[in-house]
Amino acid sequence: MSIGEAPAREDARAAVAAQPFWYHTMELAPGVVTPGHFDLRGIVDKLPWPDVRGKRCLDVGPYDGFFSFELERRGAAEVVATDIGSPEEWDWPITARKTGPRVVAAMTGQRTGGGFRVAKELLGSSAERIEVSAYDLSPERVGRFDVVVCGSLMLHLRDPVRALEAIRSVCGEWFLSCEAIDPFLTVLRPRTSVARMRNGKDCQWWVPNLAGHRSLLASAGFEVVRATRPYAEPPGPGNTSWRRWSARQALSALITRGRGVPHAAALCRPAPS
């Protein structure tokens, strides 16, 4: 993924190594790849992308910015990324509000966006990152966008419908939603919208089945135009949890036909009010 002029390889390698945590696996210079927790490079072209050429685009919850830089690579005229400012702003359950932010900050840093800033500089990107919660998106605060993308965020929110409604308020044409789903509930209850609740464990709340993901979108005022079957979001080199497969992971891989966290993607339009 190359946007601007490539930096010297050793300088790029040093900048990547200085960042304490990488969520996304990205090649930021020739041969210099971040040790990300997830690697979307092999699945990104399988998602139901709209044409973003010449469009004003928003990436909600970008973390290191994989989708932000992908939007630029696909020809977006302007890319804005919105995210929260620190781990204290995550949707922690009441039992983890004191300890959770400290644990995450020790691993990733006191402020979010470090990886995004490193990647932006090394790629020569012009994407702009703004600190604002998904709940607080509004035309008055960030303007409106032709295309909005959001990946792997809803399971971390106590109120995903509220966040999706805020996204709809700034979405002019297209919304690409890529979210974690429960593959077993998808097989057992294919036509019923259901979700597994994790009660905020590890700052994860709701994991819907495939029908549930689409119901969340409909509840927030979106209509699905194109969608994928369940797929796996592969682990990256920094993800140690997938080095040994559990029985559940193996069964999930049979359903999604891939190794990783089960996801589904849907390309939507704002439904008429």
Fold exhibited by the domain 9-270: Rossmann fold (3.40.50)
Helix axes 114-123, 9-18, angle to 10 degrees: 170
Q: Mind listing the pLDDT tens digit for each residue in 48-70?
A: 999 999 999 999 999 999 999 99
Q: Mind listing the pLDDT tens digit for each residue in 184-237?
A: 999 999 999 999 999 888 899 999 999 999 999 999 999 999 999 999 999 999
Helix axes 160-170, 210-219, angle to 10 degrees: 50
| pTM score, whole prediction | 0.94
Are 145 and 239 a contacting pair, CB within 8 Å? Answer: no
Give the Cα separation of 214 and 231 in Å (integer): 15
For residue 134, CA distances in Å to 91, 147, 232, 237 come to 11, 15, 25, 28
- The structural domains of the chain, with segments of one domain joined by +, span 9-270
Residue 7's pLDDT is 60
Beta bridge partners of 131: 83
Q: How confident is the model at residue 241 (pLDDT cuts 50, 70, 90)?
A: confident
Q: Mind listing the pLDDT tens digit for each residue in 143-189?
A: 999 999 999 999 999 999 999 999 999 999 999 999 999 999 999 99
